[in-house]
């Protein structure tokens, strides 16, 4: 294994460890804005998957996204009784959106973000896009799953399901796009400028 591959493997493992910590330690993976004034809980794990894709390439981004999805799935199975647990207890919804976030952001970043193109706006857009893609893919996959496997209870409507999901998940989406955009803008720009190129 070459030195660059070894460094990429170690860095990918580090990002996976960060995702695992964010999934189990309060305040590392979310910003509980509802505790203050907004009534929202903003997930910032998309930032970690996005950074892995930006710094290490789409394959590493996909691996980190996969572990993010796995932690969501396990948490949903072990803590049932909420709408969120019902949504993410399906592996399609838990795994595929997060895997795609790391993959797509990594692919786009290899062309959109280079050492010659380190504008803050580009990094903000990339982080915001990661959060948007996560929400969009979760809504689409949940709509598909709930349509195929009829689900009732917990206030889930049989009609206008897509609109309902956009309503309950879309509220946080705007805040998540801003938060993840800012974090990627601050952290990603510094790391990409300082670290050696480890993209696959």
Instruction: Please state which of the ranges 2-6, 59-63, 69-73 shows the lowest mean pLDDT.
Output: 2-6
Q: What is the mean pLDDT of residues 150-158?
A: 64
pTM over 0.85? The answer is yes
- Min mean pLDDT across 4-13, 33-42, 167-176 is at 33-42
Residue 146 has pLDDT above 50, yes or no: yes
Half-sphere exposure of 37 (CA within 13 A, CB side): 0
Distance from C-alpha of 107 to C-alpha of 14, rounded to nearest angstrom: 20
Judge: domain 3-194, CATH 3.30.465.10.
Answer: no
Give the model's pLDDT for residue 1.
56
Euclidean distance between CA atoms 50 and 174, whole angstroms:
17
Average pLDDT taken over every residue of the chain: 85
Helix 45-56 vs helix 3-24: angle between axes, to the nearest 10 degrees?
Answer: 180
Q: Which two tokens stand for residue 9?
A: 């493997």
Domain coordinates in residue numbering, the chain: 3-194
**Contacts of residue 69, Cβ cutoff 8 Å, sequence gap at least 6:** 94, 95, 96, 97, 98, 99
- Asked whether 174 and 132 are in contact (CB, 8 A), the reply is no
Q: Which of 103-112, 139-148, 172-181 has the lowest mean pLDDT?
A: 139-148
Are 63 and 139 spatial neighbours (Cβ–Cβ below 8 Å)? no
């Amino acid at each position: 294994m070459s030195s660059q591959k070894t460094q990429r493997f170690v860095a990918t493992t580090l990002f996976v460890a960060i995702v695992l910590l964010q999934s189990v330690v309060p305040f590392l993976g979310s910003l509980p804005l509802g505790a203050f004034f907004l009534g929202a809980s903003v997930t910032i794990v998309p930032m970690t998957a996005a950074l892995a894709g930006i710094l290490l390439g789409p394959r590493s981004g996909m691996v980190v996204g996969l572990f993010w999805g796995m932690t969501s799935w396990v948490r949903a199975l072990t803590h049932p009784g909420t709408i969120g647990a019902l949504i993410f207890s399906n592996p399609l919804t838990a795994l595929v959106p997060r895997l795609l976030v790391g993959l797509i952001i990594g692919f786009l970043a290899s062309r959109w973000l280079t050492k010659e193109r380190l504008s803050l706006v580009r990094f903000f857009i990339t982080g915001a896009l990661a959060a948007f893609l996560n929400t969009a893919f979760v809504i689409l996959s949940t709509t598909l799953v709930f349509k195929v496997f009829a689900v009732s209870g917990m206030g889930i409507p049989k009609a206008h399901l897509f609109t309902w999901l956009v309503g309950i998940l879309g509220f946080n989406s705007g805040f998540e796009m801003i938060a993840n955009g800012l974090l990627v803008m601050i952290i990603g720009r510094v790391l990409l400028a300082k670290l050696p190129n480890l993209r696959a």
